[in-house]
């Protein structure tokens, strides 16, 4: 498993500084550090995807205040890691049967 960044504030400024050149597996956490949601963003669309979680009502993750992320060399590797994390941590807003 790739190493994730330290938890950062989940806001527009932070999201605008996340690299776009590789696919990303991201993790949303609440103030207590509880895992709320894990997701994958494709290369070149990382910031747009994360902003959707911040701005779109249907994509919003209630209680998310922090984000961690890790870059991967391929979308397939990121999705595989996401599946493992969801199975292990069972975040509140993920479909547990992914």
Model pTM score: 0.92
Q: Containing domain of residue 27, as a range?
A: 8-89
- pLDDT tens-digit map of 10-66: 999 999 999 999 999 999 999 999 999 999 999 999 999 999 999 888 889 999 999
Residue 80 sits in a domain whose CATH number is 3.40.1440.10
- pLDDT tens-digit map of 25-37: 999 999 999 999 9
- Does 96 reside within a domain? no
Identify the CA nearest to 64 among candidates 87, 19, 33: 33
- Does 85 reside within a domain? yes
- Does 43 reside within a domain? yes
- Does 94 reside within a domain? no
Residues 47, 5: Cα–Cα separation, whole Å: 16
Give CA angle at 93 (69, 1), nearest 5°. Answer: 35
Domain count, the chain: 1
- Does 97 reside within a domain? no
Residues 10, 45: Cα–Cα separation, whole Å: 17
- Does 30 reside within a domain? yes
Asked if residues 69 and 13 have their Cβ atoms less than 8 Å apart, the reply is: no
């Amino acid at each position: 498993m790739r190493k994730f960044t330290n938890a950062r504030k989940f806001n527009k400024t932070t999201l605008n500084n996340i690299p776009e050149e590789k696919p990303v597996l991201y993790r949303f956490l609440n103030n207590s550090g509880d895992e709320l949601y894990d997701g994958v963003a494709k290369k070149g669309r990382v910031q747009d995807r994360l902003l959707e979680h911040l701005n779109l009502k249907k994509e919003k993750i209630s209680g998310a205040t922090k984000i961690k992320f890790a870059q991967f060399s391929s979308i397939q590797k990121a999705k595989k890691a996401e599946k493992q994390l969801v199975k292990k941590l069972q975040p509140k807003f993920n479909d547990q049967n992914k």
